[in-house]
Amino acid sequence: MWSGDATTTPDELSRAVEETGVDVLCITDHGTVNGARELADRLPCRVVVGQEVRTRAGELIGLFLSERLQFGTPADDAAAAIRAQGGLVYVPHPFDPTRHCLREDALLALADGGLIDAIEVFNAKTSLPHLNERARAFAAERGLPGGAGSDAHEPSAIGAAYLEMPDFDGPADFLARMAEGEVVGHAYDRPRAWRARVVPSTKAL
């Protein structure tokens, strides 16, 4: 509910984690790390604090963050800011034009500059399979580990897609283990039923 496009409460998220058996949850709200930081010790799983940030060229995700990323910066500046925190630069839903993906020129520039740590090769909400396949091919071509994301904006979508990988200790080990991981998941983009709801207020920034 810290993210501007979702209303999932902490209790709903906790129940979803228990029901799906997720061991590690990367919480990447739009524009803030506050929700991930607040829930890090409250959920029945490990939490990786992250953020999905809108750059001038499209969206990037930072994982293992301690501070919020600035909205609207150039993509290379956002990647550098993630790295400066000791975080990992993860490219979500590449090549999917309906999802605010990075412009292809920016994606290529980041890759050529060594500023990408991992590519999302399966996004459960990407409706056209060939877009995920294109992401998989790009990751393989560039020698980058592939990730998978449920892109869950509601509790029932938690665990729709994930990476099954060995346990890890910190960002560098996480990245190394990703290379050993296996993508598991299925397409999931069920329409969200509108529900009148008063969501507890949060401080996004």
Placement of tokens 């790390």 in the chain = 33
Placement of tokens 């209303």 in the chain = 7
pLDDT for res 89: 98
pLDDT tier, 21 (very low <50, low <70, confident <90, very high otherwise): very high
Output the pTM of the full model: 0.94
Q: Give the least confident one: 36-45, 76-85, 196-205.
A: 196-205
Counting every residue, how long is the chain?
205
pLDDT for res 82: 98
> So where are the chain's domains?
29-185
More confident residue, 2 or 90: 90
**pLDDT mean over 168-189:** 95
User: Quick check: helix, strand or coil at residue 96?
Assistant: coil
Cα distance between residue 49 and residue 32, in whole Å? 10
User: Quick check: helix, strand or coil at residue 188?
Assistant: coil
Q: Where are the beta strands (DSSP E) in the chain?
A: 24-27, 46-55, 58-63, 88-91, 118-123, 146-149, 161-164, 182-185
> What architecture is domain 29-185?
Alpha-Beta Barrel (3.20)
Cα distance between residue 153 and residue 155, in whole Å? 7
pLDDT for res 28: 97
pLDDT tier, 38 (very low <50, low <70, confident <90, very high otherwise): very high
pLDDT tens per residue, range 119-148:
999 999 998 999 999 999 999 999 999 999
